[in-house]
Structure 1
Amino acid sequence: MSDRPTRLHRSAFRLFRPVATRWMDNDAYGHVNNVHYYSYFDSAVNGWLVEKGQLAIAESPVIGLVVESGCTYFESVAFPEALEAGIAVAHLGRSSVRYQIGIFRSGAEQAAAQGHFVHVYVDRATQRPVEIPPETRGLLSEWL
């Protein structure tokens, strides 16, 4: 597979958030099932946005909707391991942002899995794309 992404190192990310694995994350093969990585991605990014005051889940008039995601797996992880999500902003457009996310065993130098997702910012009521709010854009720009 010549187009397989290169495994990223911790140095590719400036922001890290803890990820708690749960018993239910493990599958019949004894490792975290692939679908849970997308939850880890979403929780890491949105948790950070909430903490920074850029997302009020039930009230923000402008919200980011995930329109694309992907993940590449390099090694298995399993409950009860402590993980970390590394976050980077890979691209910042007018109404969208592409996040690069790495899932690391606590303290590991290389990602066990890595992927991306794209938020398109929309008006909550109309669901139509809008410009990323200036304060949010400023915060995201720090992580380019």
Structure 2
Amino acid sequence: MGYPERMTATRRPLGDYPYTHALQTRWSDNDVYGHVNNVTYYAYFDTAVNAFLIREGPLDPERGDVIGLVVETGCQYFSSLSFPDALTVGVAVERLGNSSVRYRLGVFRAGQDEPCAQGHFVHVYVDRGTRRPVPLPGPLRAALASLQVEPST
């Protein structure tokens, strides 16, 4: 029995992602089967999103009043990766809400246009102390808006 959502997933090429982040797989990313373990892709997603937020946006993960908490994730796998593959992770914003953002993410073997995996993250931005949702601060909203694309169907 197949998984219909996987078989009909629209694979987004690298050019559909306004921001890209280069990564190198590590020996420890591989599992006993000789390929990058499925949970590691989430670390790639998190690294790329936070690299953008720190470099291009106003995120200060150590001292900022507002922090993003991941409340939802998902990933579809199309082809395997293994050490020592060089990667490119694409980041786009599909939805920008009052206090939340939904990212579209793709993991690509360096130099290739077809994703090996693609997925999503949803961040809800909260007050660091109270952990209650807060409106996205203007500079953060502007940085995220620069990555906005049409939502996947």
TM-score range, shorter chain: over 0.9
Partner residue, 1:102:
106
Partner residue, 1:49:
53
TM-score (norm 2): 0.91
Secondary structure at the counterpart of residue 5 of structure 2: coil
Partner residue, 1:19:
23
Q: Aligned-pair distance for 1:48?
A: 1.2
| Code of the aligned partner of 2:85 | E
Secondary structure at the counterpart of residue 84 of structure 1: strand
| Code of the aligned partner of 2:46 | D
Q: 1:10 aligns with which of 6, 10, 14?
A: 14
Partner residue, 2:36:
32
Q: Aligned-pair distance for 1:53?
A: 4.5
Secondary structure at the counterpart of residue 119 of structure 2: strand
Q: Aligned-pair distance for 1:56?
A: 1.2
Secondary structure at the counterpart of residue 11 of structure 1: helix
TM-score (norm 1): 0.97
Runs of 5+ unmatched residues, structure 2 = 149-153
| Code of the aligned partner of 2:98 | R
1:38-65 CA distances to partner (integer Å, 9 max, x unpaired)? 0000010001111124211110100000
Runs of 5+ unmatched residues, structure 1 = none
Secondary structure at the counterpart of residue 91 of structure 2: strand
* Corresponding position: 1:129 with 2:133: yes
Q: State the identity %.
A: 53
Over the aligned positions, Cα root-mean-square deviation in angstroms equals: 0.9
Which range moves more in the overlay, 113-122 or 8-17?
8-17
